[in-house]
């Protein structure tokens, strides 16, 4: 029995009303998407800031990321239950109720994305989508790293897209830091491991 399972058993014994079960939550394609997206985004961001002046690999990772986002869009409608957008599309009330109890020192045992996590997913996907579009429209006037769509817009639009692409890159870096910090917070403060389920697909959750 793992540490997580032992903790879940102890919680269930301490609170008889707390009924738990370990279920298959995240499907294999969603897990592959998650780790592939993380690798591509980190790689593209690193190359954009510290890579060579000729950014062919940066563009390649951007195209792969675009393909991953297209997959996630489709999977959000036709994938398994917990991969679908409808399963983690919450209103302000649910978001606030969850936020009020977020700092309690016990696992949430939430089935799927909780209201805060679901909101984060939508924000991240939106930022990535706009950033990639801006990158494809951008023209830094160096004759090397011109986006494939830059020729279809004015120079003013290309320059604006380049500036927004850089800004969103910084926002994306902040979102990544926030994501890692929340994962650590859940592990250290709430004693809830969010990484293991994204590796194995299985998570201990409340019944029903």
**What is the CATH number for 80?**
1.20.950.20
Least confident of 1-5, 72-76, 189-193: 1-5
Q: What is the mean pLDDT of residues 129-135?
A: 96
**Within-domain flag for 123:** yes
Q: Are strands 202-206 and 20-24 parallel, antiparallel or unpaired?
A: antiparallel
**Within-domain flag for 14:** no
Check residues 12 and 142 and name the one with the higher pLDDT. Answer: 142
Provide the number of structural domains found in the chain. 1
**Within-domain flag for 16:** no
Confidence of residue 17 (pLDDT cuts 50, 70, 90): low
> What is the spatial distance between Cα 128 and Cα 47, in angstroms, rounded to a whole number?
16
Per-residue pLDDT at 196 exceeds 60: yes
Please identify which residue in the block is written with the tokens 């006037």.
141
Least confident of 109-118, 136-145, 159-168: 136-145
> What is the spatial distance between Cα 1 and Cα 137, in angstroms, rounded to a whole number?
52
Q: What is the mean pLDDT of residues 16-29?
A: 88
Average pLDDT value over all residues in the chain: 91
What is the pLDDT, as a whole number, of residue 13?
A: 40
Number of H helices, E strands in the chain: 7, 2
Domain range for 71: 28-103+112-193
Q: Which residues pair with 20 in a beta bridge?
A: 206
Give the residue among 144, 146, 147 at the shortest CA–CA distance from 136.
147
Give 68-92 as a DSSP string. HHHHHHHHHHHS-GGGSGGGG---H
**Within-domain flag for 20:** no
**Within-domain flag for 199:** no
pTM for the whole structure? 0.88
């Amino acid at each position: 029995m793992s540490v997580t399972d032992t903790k879940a058993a102890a919680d269930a014994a301490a609170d008889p009303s707390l009924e738990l079960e370990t279920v298959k939550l995240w499907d294999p394609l969603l897990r592959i998407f998650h780790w592939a997206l993380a690798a591509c985004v980190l790689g593209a961001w690193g190359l954009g800031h510290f890579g060579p002046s000729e950014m062919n690999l940066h563009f390649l990772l951007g195209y792969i990321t675009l393909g991953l986002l297209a997959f996630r869009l489709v999977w959000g409608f036709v994938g398994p239950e917990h991969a679908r957008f409808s399963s983690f599309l919450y209103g302000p009330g649910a978001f606030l109720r969850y936020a009020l109890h977020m700092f309690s020192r016990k696992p949430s045992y939430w089935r799927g994305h909780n209201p805060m996590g679901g909101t984060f997913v939508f924000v991240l996907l939106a930022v990535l989508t706009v950033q990639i579009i801006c990158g494809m429209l951008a023209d830094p006037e160096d004759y090397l790293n011109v986006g494939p769509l830059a020729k279809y817009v004015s120079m003013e639009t290309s320059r604006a897209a380049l500036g927004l692409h850089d800004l969103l890159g910084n926002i994306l870096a902040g979102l990544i830091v926030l994501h890692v910090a929340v994962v650590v917070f859940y592990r250290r403060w709430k004693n809830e491991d969010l990484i293991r389920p994204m590796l194995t697909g299985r998570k201990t959750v409340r019944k029903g």
